[in-house]
Amino acid sequence: MPAKKAKIAVLVSGGGTNLQALIDAQSKGIITSGKIALVISNNPSAYALERAKKAGIKTSVVTKKECGSQEAFEDKMKTTLNENGIDIIVLAGFMSILSENFTSAYPKRIINVHPSLIPSFCGKGFYGLRVHEAALEYGVKVTGATVHFVNEIPDGGEIIMQKAVNIRPDDTPESLQKRVMRLAEWKILPLSVEKVSNEIINKK
């Protein structure tokens, strides 16, 4: 009998580079305790949906506009997740803050990757290039990425993994963003997903 795998849903809004890192990690055998079963996007034109379709992963689009309110939007996502028997939710460039009503329904089941070493350059307003702009403005010599559990506080949940990346004197926010993705985010996100998946299937 094949070993039980945790069912993973990845929530996306844009290009899906972190989703691709997870798909690649699954095909390389880095993620073995879990399987990506669903990709949900709050943006119908997100390229991440194409990546999922190419990999044969089921997709779903849930938009706040269509649902009418944050509460209805989150309820529809919960229904979709429950219908698909999802064990773990991975936020991979998901540009919608989730309320406590949603996060508390999945304690230690939602994970996010943030492009800095938390507690630096994180929390409300720190996302995308803004994080790297702030790190360069501040003059820090080391940055990196953090994978953490998600709770009602933006970037406030327990840390699962971190990886440091040195800042170069000639870095721009764009060059730093690319290097942090390549050297940190795309490495620790799959490893964290595997770690949490393994813990979940061993608890079942």
Averaged pLDDT, 12-23: 95
- The domain ranges of the chain are 6-203
Is the pLDDT at 2 greater than 60? The verdict is no
Please list the active-site residues: 114
Is the pLDDT at 118 greater than 80? The verdict is yes
Is the pLDDT at 171 greater than 90? The verdict is yes
Is the pLDDT at 1 greater than 50? The verdict is no
pLDDT of 62 reads: 95
β-pair partners for 114: 146
Tell me: the pLDDT tens digits for 66-85? Answer: 999 999 999 999 999 999 99
Is the pLDDT at 204 greater than 80? The verdict is no
Residue 154: phi and psi, rounded to 5, are -55, 125
Q: Residues 6 or more apart from 126 whose CB is under 8 A from it? A: 114, 116, 134, 154, 155
User: In the block, which residue shows the tokens 């061993």?
Assistant: 202
Q: Which CATH architecture has domain 6-203?
A: 3-Layer(aba) Sandwich (3.40)
Tell whether pTM > 0.75.
yes
Averaged pLDDT, 9-22: 96
- Listing DSSP states for 55-120 in one string gives TT-EEEE--HHHHSSHHHHHHHHHHHHHHTT--EEEESS--SPPPHHHHTTSTTTEEEEESS-TTS
